[in-house]
Amino acid sequence: MFNLVKKGMTKEEKMQQVLDWIEEADAVVIGGASGMSTANGFDYYNQHTPFFEEHFGDFGKIYGEGSAWNLLYHHYRNDEERWAYMARSGAVMLDLPVGKTYTDLYELVKHKDHYIITTNQDAQFSKVFDINKIFTIQGDAHWMQCSERCSPEIYPSEETLHRLNASIVDGKLKTEDVPRCPKCGAVMEPWVKSFIFQYGDYWNKEADKYKAYLEKHKNEKILFLGLGIGRMTPEFIKHPFINMTYGFENARCAFLNMGEPEPMKEVADKTIALNVDILETLDQMVNLQKERASSMKNGNVDRKAVVNA
Ligand SMILES: [Zn+2]
């Protein structure tokens, strides 16, 4: 039975309730946003963080910016400068180790039928989850597209990003190194959300797979698990999760994020809101899950009591 939420639960009770739902769910739909990565210190938004200084400090000095986000939207004078930053940024994303929030989340749901939708473009989910079960709704560092969108194709980026990152001098690339479209010769563009974002065959196929997953499981016990979703783009994950929780009779929902507000009253009895540090909380939930598993294995018998008897 998928419990309804009781009022006035403590943090531990909420975590236990989410673990119950995970165990009982026929399907777990994970929605991951920037807080999932920021919690590990992979901070693309705040000014002059240790992460920024380590990976982008040289660009920060040259272009007078303090965050990866600002460098992304910096007005570069030419493609040689702009693509140097794109190459660094993409290579950093592909090369970073997987963050603990992601490995902990994997521990929690790996034995359950699951699917992921994410606004993150930093490829972290793909380092631990099956890439065939991840819908990167705003694109992803693994791909590039033609800036003129001359065809619906997108192109693998990994080899290009690493090669270009290694050839940056003083925050610039050589003109001949700027990547160009193999079909029309226009400058390439990272495949991430922008005014020219390529909603091509790949995106549409991935969107259809995600919709089919929801369609298949919508009448079953389906759990929506939203992680690290802030206020930047709630229209992609948060609002649809709330709507589906409201509309699907057997759905439950949990949101974990720093500053997470209380659930809307229409879905309050089906939703757990955890206003928490997700790095710490996912770790606690993995430990609670392990305690459950070992108490099951011991047939719920308190070992100490047996020894003492
Ligand atoms: Zn082209």
Structurally, the chain folds into a number of domains equal to 2
- Is residue 34 a part of any domain in this protein? yes
- Is residue 45 a part of any domain in this protein? no
Render pLDDT for 16-29 as a digit per residue (tens, 0 to 9): 999 999 999 999 99
Q: What distance in angstroms lies between residue 181's CA and the mean position of ligand 1's atoms? A: 5
Q: What is the pLDDT of residue 140?
A: 94
- Say yes or no to pLDDT of 296 above 90: no
Answer whether 135's CB lies under 8 Å from 237's CB: no
- Is residue 44 a part of any domain in this protein? no
Are 127 and 148 in the same domain?
no
Q: What is the pLDDT of residue 309?
A: 38
| Burial of 50 from C-beta contacts in 10 A (0-12 / 13-18 / 19+) | exposed
Mean pLDDT over each residue of the chain, to the nearest integer? 94
Are 178 and 292 in the same domain?
no
* Ion ligand 1 — residues with CB < 5 Å: 146, 148, 150, 181, 183-184, 186
- Say yes or no to pLDDT of 304 above 90: no
Single residue among 167, 192, 217 that ends a domain in this structure: 192
- Comparing CA positions, the residue from 199, 194, 190, 193 lying closest to residue 151 is 199
- Say yes or no to pLDDT of 306 above 60: no
Answer whether 299's CB lies under 8 Å from 33's CB: no
Render pLDDT for 217-275 as a digit per residue (tens, 0 to 9): 999 999 999 999 988 788 899 999 999 999 999 999 999 999 999 999 999 999 999 99
- Is residue 64 a part of any domain in this protein? yes
The domain containing residue 105 runs over which residues? 11-38+98-138+201-308
Single residue among 175, 192, 209 that ends a domain in this structure: 192
Are 156 and 15 in the same domain?
no
| Burial of 215 from C-beta contacts in 10 A (0-12 / 13-18 / 19+) | exposed
Instruction: Name which residue leads in pLDDT, 173 or 232.
Output: 173
- Residue carrying structure tokens 């236990």: 16
- Is residue 1 a part of any domain in this protein? no
- Is residue 227 a part of any domain in this protein? yes
Where are the alpha helices (H) located in 189-237, listed in sequence order?
Answer: 201-217
Q: What distance in angstroms lies between residue 143's CA and the mean position of ligand 1's atoms? A: 14
Are 88 and 114 in the same domain?
no
Q: What distance in angstroms lies between residue 138's CA and the mean position of ligand 1's atoms? A: 20
Sort strands 251-257 and 222-227 into parallel, antiparallel or unpaired: parallel
- Is residue 6 a part of any domain in this protein? no
Are 271 and 150 in the same domain?
no
Q: What is the pLDDT of residue 303?
A: 46
Are 235 and 255 in the same domain?
yes
Are 184 and 304 in the same domain?
no
Render pLDDT for 98-147 as a digit per residue (tens, 0 to 9): 999 999 999 999 999 999 999 999 999 999 999 999 999 999 999 999 99
Q: What distance in angstroms lies between residue 187's CA and the mean position of ligand 1's atoms? A: 8
- Say yes or no to pLDDT of 301 above 70: no
Q: What is the pLDDT of residue 299?
A: 72
- Say yes or no to pLDDT of 297 above 90: no
Percent of the chain with pLDDT over 90: 90
Are 250 and 303 in the same domain?
yes
Are 78 and 104 in the same domain?
no
- Is residue 77 a part of any domain in this protein? yes
Measured CA distances, 180 to 145, 164, 176, 302 (Å)? 9, 13, 9, 66
Q: What distance in angstroms lies between residue 212's CA and the mean position of ligand 1's atoms? A: 31
Are 104 and 87 in the same domain?
no
Render pLDDT for 42-59 as a digit per residue (tens, 0 to 9): 998 899 999 999 999 999
CATH of the domain at 75: 3.30.1600
Are 167 and 183 in the same domain?
yes
Q: What is the pLDDT of residue 307?
A: 43
CATH of the domain at 214: 3.40.50.1220
Task: Report how far residue 145's alpha carbon sits from residue 203's, in angstroms, rounded to the nearest whole number.
Answer: 12
Single residue among 127, 157, 192 that ends a domain in this structure: 192
Are 161 and 275 in the same domain?
no
| Burial of 138 from C-beta contacts in 10 A (0-12 / 13-18 / 19+) | middle
Q: What is the pLDDT of residue 179?
A: 98
Q: What distance in angstroms lies between residue 175's CA and the mean position of ligand 1's atoms? A: 18
Sort strands 139-146 and 188-192 into parallel, antiparallel or unpaired: antiparallel
Query: Mean per-residue pLDDT for 167-196?
Result: 96
